[in-house]
């Protein structure tokens, strides 16, 4: 009975009309951050059985997951012609980056935005998949603030885009053709911001000219939550290590910028900063590094 009920709830969430949500954890009791546990584990994975003619790119959009995140979590599954009945992991569990701060933190390596806030004396978190800058149009890293808060923005093409892509419209008014979507949160560095999109299938990929794209329903949710002056930290952390219920976990993503020359050494460096004494399961760690599925994996010995 429990399995049938869970499956029904998943179907209800995934097939609601026009994708009414994408942010997660959806359940409030999964959204609290355990501040006593460094880089705490938040959220829970869900399982899904593919129906006939479903593709991973469509499922990613409908389930509110970035396309590359869904692909990495399900290695070996054909994204375009997966067999009906294939069991898919919906990666809704994640570990907070060690440098996550109250406000907004974006981890470029995992194509994910975290929003942390205080509520009733507890810290809560919700996260949204993001599209980031493509190669040559990298999203800047560093500490910023929200400097602009605009609903129904117009888009003006920067000179760099006009030079690189002749024929691009110099400006686009608000509406369905506007690449910024319906909301713009401008950063303190001019020209960069967090916004919606009229091309949602680019969320969860490296496709932008440096800005951060959210699904339309996600930016609609985030926009009223942040005000001018909200801190924004943009980092690149493909390896995250932390504790949950006394166990050591690692979440390892593709190192798109090839900055980590020794993944094992990076894991050990992060472990040394944690209040944990135990033995690492080297086989589990090696497998996690080889797979790079971008999902939390236990790497401590029982």
Residues annotated catalytic, as ranges? 195, 211
Please give the Cα distance from 130 to 253 (Å, whole number): 15
Q: Residue 123's closest CA among 92, 101, 107?
A: 101
Provide the CA 198 distance to its chain's centre, in angstroms: 19
Q: Which residue has the tokens 């390896």?
A: 239
Q: Can you tell me whether residue 213 is helix, strand or coil?
A: strand
Q: Residue 81's closest CA among 48, 49, 62, 57?
A: 57
Please give the Cα distance from 40 to 100 (Å, whole number): 11
**Residue 12, exposed/middle/buried by CB under 10 A (0-12, 13-18, 19+)?**
exposed
Peptide bond into 25 cis (omega under 30): yes
* Residue 71 contacts residue 88 (beta carbons within 8 Å): no
Q: Can you tell me whether residue 271 is helix, strand or coil?
A: helix
Angle 249-254-255 from CA coordinates, rounded to 5°: 105
Handedness of CA 189, 191, 197, 199 (dihedral sign): negative
């Amino acid at each position: 009975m429990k399995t049938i009920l869970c499956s029904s709830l998943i179907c209800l969430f995934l097939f609601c009309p026009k994708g009414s949500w994408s942010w997660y954890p959806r359940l409030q009791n999964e959204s609290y951050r355990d501040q006593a546990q460094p880089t705490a584990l938040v959220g829970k994975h869900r399982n899904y059985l593919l129906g006939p003619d479903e593709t991973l790119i469509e499922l990613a959009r409908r389930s509110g997951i970035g396309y590359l995140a869904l692909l990495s979590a399900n290695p070996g599954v054909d994204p375009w012609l997966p067999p009906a009945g294939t069991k898919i992991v919906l990666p809704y569990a994640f570990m907070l980056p060690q440098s996550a701060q109250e406000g907004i933190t974006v981890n470029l390596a995992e194509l994910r935005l975290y929003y942390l806030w205080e509520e009733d004396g507890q810290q809560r978190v919700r996260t949204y998949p993001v599209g980031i800058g493509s190669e040559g149009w990298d999203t800047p890293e560093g500490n910023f603030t929200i400097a602009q808060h605009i609903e129904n923005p117009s888009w003006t093409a920067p000179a760099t885009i006009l030079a690189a892509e002749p024929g691009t419209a110099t400006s686009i008014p608000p509406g369905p053709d506007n690449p910024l979507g319906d909301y713009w949160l401008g950063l303190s560095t001019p020209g960069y911001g967090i916004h919606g999109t009229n091309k949602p299938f680019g969320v969860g990929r490296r496709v932008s000219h440096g800005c951060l794209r959210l699904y339309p329903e996600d930016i609609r949710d985030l926009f009223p939550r942040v005000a001018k002056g909200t801190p924004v930290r943009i980092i690149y952390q493909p390896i995250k290590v932390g504790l949950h219920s006394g166990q050591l976990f690692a979440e390892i993503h593709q190192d798109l910028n090839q900055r980590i020359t020794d993944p094992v050494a990076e894991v050990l460096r992060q472990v040394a900063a944690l209040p944990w004494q135990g033995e690492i399961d080297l086989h589990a760690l090696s497998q996690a590094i080889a797979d790079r599925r971008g999902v939390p994996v236990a790497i401590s010995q029982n």
